Amino acid sequence: MLKHAVIPFLVGAGLLASAPFTHAATNLVFCSEGSPAGFDPGQYTTGTDFDASAETMFNRLSQFERGGTAVIPGLATRWDISDDGLTYTFHLREGVKFHTTDYFKPTRHFNADDVLFTFNRMLDKDMPFRKAYPTEFPYFTDMGMDANIKKVEKIDDNTVKFTLATVDAAFIQNMAMSFASIQSAEYADQLLKSGKPQDINQKPIGTGPFVFSKYQKDAQIRFKGNKEYWVPEDVKIDNLIFAITTDASVRMQKLKKNECQVTLFPRPADLKTLQEDKTLQMPHQAGFNLGYIAYNVMDKIKGSDQPNPMSQLKVRQALDMAVNKKQIIESVYQGAGQLAVNAMPPTQWSYDDTVKDVAYDPEKAKALLKEAGIKDGTEITLWAMPVQRPYNPNAKLMAEMLQSDWARIGIKAKIVSYEWGEYIKRSKAGENGAMLIGWSGDNGDPDNWLGTLFGCDAINGNNFSKWCNADYDKLIKQAKATSDQAKRTELYKQAQHVLKDNVPLTPIAHSTVYQPMRTTVQDFKISPFGLNSFYGVSVSQ
């Protein structure tokens, strides 16, 4: 990265069009793939949103080690767990400062009031701030935390106690996830008094390593290094810029020209060229992710008055066995994907390798459709993501291949797409038909896959299939409520078979994650959770 100089591209794009730096500023430009829907981590569920908020501007009580899945202290220095597993007492870090900006100047340090505000806003719809700015917290509710957290109490300024209704074996891991980012109660009070509570989502205030500066939708997000961060050695960048670049080939061109120093989601076809470029480094690792087709199983899809064919098990079975996975993996992933059979990756503990795919069999699929009374030429919608994700490098191509696969069995699939934020919003509302989507694990716990994506509590969130099965739900809730990992594993294995038998999804692939960057970038860690963090990262000339 250049120092003592203005980068020509950035001036042209308006990213660094302000006055030249008067000191040896360290700047890093990240070519990101999409615009965030907002900056309040509690409201969202995607990596695009979390990269721009939780990973830059916020902290949580517990946190994951950089580049790993181990939980370490964050805004809490330690925690005590009661013998019955129902009470968690967090001892808060002292002296932590919230960000100072042109729209907020804190008068006190982080304390217990901020923890209470953060979680009570998610728990209590009658809380004044929540009533003034009504919003939903899909991750929190998808995981059943709204029902399981009975109360959050302030013991003193530096101690907070959470009381649960039932044991949650993954509670500490869950508290390290992006949605649990701690907000400033003082800032929220200021917004409420000024009649602008919605600004919590547009003008964020956190305690994290970078401070929000400016946002231009579909163009850029600017952050400044937090000079008062409680881990000062983690802030090695003065100016962090997200250059929003939706086209993968354009991202790689910018990287090669040093117009950005880190990017993501290269096209498989570009990997060889990128690996041969001596100015670049290409760290990669097996993805803790899953790309899949979610089938909307509702009797009628929202907005339609016609019966939904996918509400029938035989139809889902037919669609599933008509997918030529081998061909998709060869064409879409081009050597950077592994066949997926189950609803989570094989590296997740409790994965059941006795779960098997049905054979690819278009003729049998036709017979099943006939048994289900589905006429030749029946139409469904196939939703395709507008962006690349770690689990799917080319949703458009995958959708076209599926369209062809299903045409062979007499199903006409109309491909539908929306801007990413709208795509997620409409899908959560139940407007989707068959849908291309995926997941990168968030906390290393099986519940993060089996509960968050297919549990009944997640029907209005990340359960895009809208599938709710009482037997399945009982198994995953029993598993979550015991701390014995062997017992949890057995329950989760049973649940995986129920899930496979009911076909709310067709697993496609686990994608290898490549993270192209300039050789000048030092100590960047690939997140197993598909996130991009820049604390601890430095750049050299």
- What are the tens digits of pLDDT across the range 221-243? 999 999 999 999 999 999 999 99
Q: Mind giving me the DSSP string for 113-143?
A: HHHHHHHHHHH-TTSHHHHHS----HHHHHT
Which residue in this structure is represented by tokens 């008509």? 322
Residue 179 — very low, low, confident or very high, per pLDDT cuts 50/70/90? very high
pLDDT in tens, 458-481: 999 999 999 999 999 999 999 999
Rg (CA), the chain: 23
Residue 390 confidence class, pLDDT cut points 50, 70, 90: confident
Quote the pLDDT of residue 6: 31
In the chain, the percentage of residues whose pLDDT exceeds 90 is 90
Query: Is residue 24 very low, low, confident or very high in pLDDT (cuts 50, 70, 90)?
Result: low
Q: Using one digit for the tens of pLDDT, what is the confidence trace for 46-67? A: 999 999 999 999 999 999 999 9
Query: Which pLDDT does position 483 carry in this prediction?
Result: 87
Q: Percentage of the chain with pLDDT > 70?
A: 96
The average confidence (pLDDT) of the chain is 93
Query: Do the strands 239-244 and 27-32 form a parallel or antiparallel pair, or are they unpaired?
Result: parallel
pLDDT over 50 at 1, yes or no:
no
Element housing 416 (H / E): strand 411-416
Tokens 């117009």 map to which residue?
Answer: 259
CA distance 457 to 286: 30
Cβ neighbours around 519 below 10 Å, total: 12
pLDDT at 388: 87
Average pLDDT over residues 493-508: 98
Mean pLDDT to the nearest integer, 522-533:
94
Least Cα distance to 511 among 345, 387, 357, 359 occurs for 345
For residue 206, give the DSSP letter. -
Structure tokens at 42: 């509690």
pLDDT (average), residues 105-109: 98
Q: Say whether pLDDT at 8 is over 80.
A: no
Burial of 12 (0-12, 13-18, 19+ CB in 10 A): exposed
pLDDT in the model for residue 22:
39
Provide the 10 A C-beta neighbour count for residue 404: 12
Note the pLDDT tens digit of each residue in 84-103: 999 999 999 999 999 999 99
Quick one: pLDDT at residue 206?
98
pTM, entire model: 0.82
Give the span between the Cα atoms of 39 and 481, in whole angstroms.
32
> Quick one: pLDDT band at residue 10, thresholds 50, 70, 90?
very low
Residue that the structure tokens 């340090």 belong to:
109
Name all domains of the chain by residue range, CATH numbers in brackets: 1-37+208-283+515-541 (3.40.190.10), 59-205 (3.90.76.10), 289-513 (3.10.105.10)
Q: What is the per-residue pLDDT across 284-330, written as a single tens digit (0 to 9) for each?
A: 988 899 999 999 999 999 999 999 999 999 999 999 999 999 999 99
The answer to whether the beta carbons of residues 522 and 64 sit under 8 Å apart is no
Helix, strand, coil shares of the chain, percent, nearest 5, are 35, 20, 45
Residue at 443: amino acid letter: N
User: What are 116-137's pLDDT values in tens digits?
Assistant: 999 999 999 999 999 999 999 9
Tokens linked to 37: 């829907």
- The first and second tokens of residue 3, run together, are 């120092």
Identify the sign of the CA torsion 426, 427, 431, 435: positive
Amino acid at 362: P
